[in-house]
Structure 1
Amino acid sequence: MEKSNHQQFHVVFDGPALVEHRMDVRDLAPALIAMADLFTAANKEINGEASSIRVHVNASFKAGSFGIDLVATQHLLAHIRDILSGLGANAICNGYTIMTMVGFIGGGGLIDLLRRLKGRRPVKVQRNGRLTTVHFSEAESIEIDSRIMKLYYNGIVRTSLEKVVSPLEREGITDFAIMVDDKVTLAFHDDELGLLSAATLETAAEVVSDTTSHKMLQIESLTFKDGNKWRVHDGVATFRASIEDKEFLRKIDAGERFGKGDVLMVNLRQVQSVDGGRLNNESMILKVLEHREPLQQHAHDQAHAGVERAHSTSGADLEVA
């Protein structure tokens, strides 16, 4: 048999247009459907197939500009009852936790993240198990639950959340709020509508790895256009790397010569990211530590020098009798 839990909450729309406590059903209905879609998508993203969730309208209406009671009912599937009775029970997020992840409760969650981003895309996203670091700029970042970041990347969650507050686009409807146990847990004003836009979703890149290492690279071709990206080989693969070392670029401007086959000892940064469903790799030479001649020429010169040393340091006097 199924187990279930219930989370009741109160949705309020406010503004001059609602002074008589009435609201056009053409504004309300899409918002309520979007609320159901939001919970369904968030539950599936966080809990997978372990549970299902539905949003029901309660019969009672409370006094206010326009308010309606809703109940999120989560059904835990029968085949996980053994998990629920053991240590694995904490892995299933209940309705209250899902509301927290979305940002309806607790002052954080997805809504707080979108407020902090202010319509921008993250500069960098670094996932580390249960926590994710979101960089707003090179100097500003926050650490959040990785499940919130999963909601950020979920298209249905983002578009549904945007539709939930869509009545605020109407003239005279200025505020949206969530109440739990007669306490306001979220207050949202119409001047914040742009912050919840899902338009930035497709351009948000997730950084999978960001590493810097000491490497020897062989130059295959070089250019001083297109961001100074040179084709190099690391002994395994050929790739393009941008030159970020300003001092090294100044040496080139001063006349230092480079050619195919030359070898560079460098500090190499390599970033792998997922952007718009595509896997990207970016390589940057942060510092050129040494410039060497081609490896074959270097080996030839060493061998030649060894022969010369042998001629100069060894010999024998011979006499024919």
Structure 2
Amino acid sequence: MDDMATTFLSINYDGPALSGGEMAVEDLAPALLAMGKLFEEANRVINGDKSNLSVRVKAGFIKGSFEAELHLIQGWIEYARDILVGPNATALAALCAFLGISGKDVIGLFKLLKLSKGRQARKARVLEDGNVELEFPNDSGEPIKIVAPRETVQLFRDVKVRKAAALAVKPLEKDGIDTISVRDSSCDKASAIAVVNKDDLASFRPPENSDSLIISTPSTIAFSIVNLSFNEDGKWKLSDGQNLVWASIEDEDFIQAVDRNEVAFTKGDILLCDVIVQQWQTDSGLKTETRIVKVKEHRHPTSRQIDLPFG
């Protein structure tokens, strides 16, 4: 049996470009979708598969700005809700608090992003009370230390959450849209809980390289050259005898010898190489990269000889 929680939030877009009562649909639609996605991904991070969250929207203009109302509906498996948050707690309110849009006196995701100013934490320490202290580099030399709830830090670390947050505030890139604010729909505009300005855009930008390295394995592998055509990344098409591999060759001496035509290739050539195979976890799934760091030997098929039992 599901236990339902519900709340209404108003998202307000403000600035001179909206004074005429219009907002371009190509700006609004992706931003609203991203805002809904942000709540869904945050619910996934905090509550896993024990809860589901649906987001509905209705929109309209108020004086000098555009406002959309989000209706958040959270469904819980009843026993899971009782175990995790207690029968008297409001799980949806806690989720909003960890995002930083509930008005509670905790550092939520929005505030943590603004305080971090787009920097990545270089140290993290779990405190005795369960909160997490993050240490960020600072231009002045003295590091910035921020203490936030463990759940807020989980949201801060999650790539999908960060990307959704960046898309949700993307309208601020447009001239004439200066502010995005969030408040409880029952309160007036002046009581906005989370306010994001143009100056905050850099703070919401997700890390450029969000892929997570799983395995990095050095080895020595023999490859045959399938053909001498390269893909758009300049990688070589090789075979290890079982699988086709697109590999980057980082051996500068070998590359320069090829460029000077000092290396001739024939069908059946074998390259004996020192290789690093890396596997990454990405948003789209598992990615494998093969890097040839050294070409140790280049064998031609004409040099193949039959072993004789000397002795």
Same fold, TM-score > 0.5, yes or no: yes
Partner of 1:127: 126
1:95 to partner: Cα distance: 2.1
1:62 to partner: Cα distance: 4.5
Partner of 2:13: 13
Q: What amino acid is the match of 2:194?
A: L
**Equivalent pairs: percent with the same residue?**
29
C-alpha separation in 1, matches of 2:209 and 2:72? 26
Q: What amino acid is the match of 1:39?
A: F
What do residues 188-215 of structure 1 show as CA deviations (whole Å, max 9, x unaligned)?
11121011010267499xxxxxxxxxxx
The answer to whether the 8 Å contact 2:110/2:194 transfers is no
Instruction: Check 1:59–1:31 CA distance in 2 against 1; reply closer, same or farther (3 A cut).
Output: closer
Partner of 1:82: 79
1:166 correspondence with 2:163? no
C-alpha separation in 2, matches of 1:60 and 1:66? 6
C-alpha separation in 2, matches of 1:28 and 1:168? 11
Provide TM-score, normalisation by structure 2.
Answer: 0.59
TM alignment of 1:234-253, pairs within 5 A: none
1:140 to partner: Cα distance: 3.5
Moved more, 57-66 or 187-196: 57-66
Q: What amino acid is the match of 2:120?
A: R
Instruction: Check 1:200–1:62 CA distance in 2 against 1; reply closer, same or farther (3 A cut).
Output: same
1:104 to partner: Cα distance: 2.3
1:8 to partner: Cα distance: 0.5
Partner of 2:91: 94
- Structure 2 residue matching 1:147: 3-state secondary structure: helix
C-alpha separation in 2, matches of 1:199 and 1:33? 21
What do residues 160-186 of structure 1 show as CA deviations (whole Å, max 9, x unaligned)?
000001011111111111121222111
1:110 to partner: Cα distance: 1.2
C-alpha separation in 1, matches of 2:63 and 2:91? 28
The answer to whether the 8 Å contact 2:40/2:53 transfers is yes
What do residues 264-305 of structure 1 show as CA deviations (whole Å, max 9, x unaligned)?
xxxxxxxxxxxx97xxxxxxxxxxxxxxxxxxxxxxxxxxxx
Q: What amino acid is the match of 1:47?
A: N
List gaps (5 residues or longer) in structure 1.
Answer: 205-275, 278-321
Q: Which of 196, 200, 204 is 1:188 aligned to?
A: 196
The answer to whether the 8 Å contact 2:134/2:146 transfers is yes
Partner of 1:39: 39
Partner of 2:66: 66
Instruction: Check 1:58–1:90 CA distance in 2 against 1; reply closer, same or farther (3 A cut).
Output: same
Greater fraction helix = 1
C-alpha separation in 2, matches of 1:94 and 1:154? 20
1:85 to partner: Cα distance: 4.6
C-alpha separation in 1, matches of 2:85 and 2:96? 21
TM alignment of 1:192-203, pairs within 5 A: 192-199=200-207, 202=210
C-alpha separation in 1, matches of 2:3 and 2:163? 30
- Structure 2 residue matching 1:58: 3-state secondary structure: strand
1:4 to partner: Cα distance: 0.8
Instruction: Check 1:145–1:200 CA distance in 2 against 1; reply closer, same or farther (3 A cut).
Output: farther
C-alpha separation in 2, matches of 1:156 and 1:91? 30
Instruction: Check 1:86–1:45 CA distance in 2 against 1; reply closer, same or farther (3 A cut).
Output: closer
What do residues 51-96 of structure 1 show as CA deviations (whole Å, max 9, x unaligned)?
010111137764451111111110112xxx2344568527986222
C-alpha separation in 1, matches of 2:171 and 2:87? 36
The answer to whether the 8 Å contact 2:18/2:177 transfers is yes
Q: What amino acid is the match of 2:102?
A: I
Q: What amino acid is the match of 2:48?
A: G
The answer to whether the 8 Å contact 2:59/2:67 transfers is no
Q: Which of 122, 145, 151 is 1:147 aligned to?
A: 151
Provide TM-score, normalisation by structure 1.
Answer: 0.57
CA RMSD of aligned residues (A): 2.8
Task: Determine which structure has more spread, i.e. the larger CA radius of gyration.
Answer: 1
- Structure 2 residue matching 1:198: 3-state secondary structure: coil
C-alpha separation in 2, matches of 1:20 and 1:179? 23
Instruction: Check 1:17–1:26 CA distance in 2 against 1; reply closer, same or farther (3 A cut).
Output: same
1:3 correspondence with 2:6? no
C-alpha separation in 1, matches of 2:123 and 2:211? 12
- Structure 2 residue matching 1:104: 3-state secondary structure: coil
The answer to whether the 8 Å contact 1:132/1:144 transfers is yes
C-alpha separation in 2, matches of 1:127 and 1:21? 48
Q: What amino acid is the match of 1:199?
A: P
Instruction: Check 1:85–1:110 CA distance in 2 against 1; reply closer, same or farther (3 A cut).
Output: closer
List gaps (5 residues or longer) in structure 2.
Answer: 213-279, 282-311
Instruction: Check 1:85–1:162 CA distance in 2 against 1; reply closer, same or farther (3 A cut).
Output: closer
Equivalenced residue count is 204
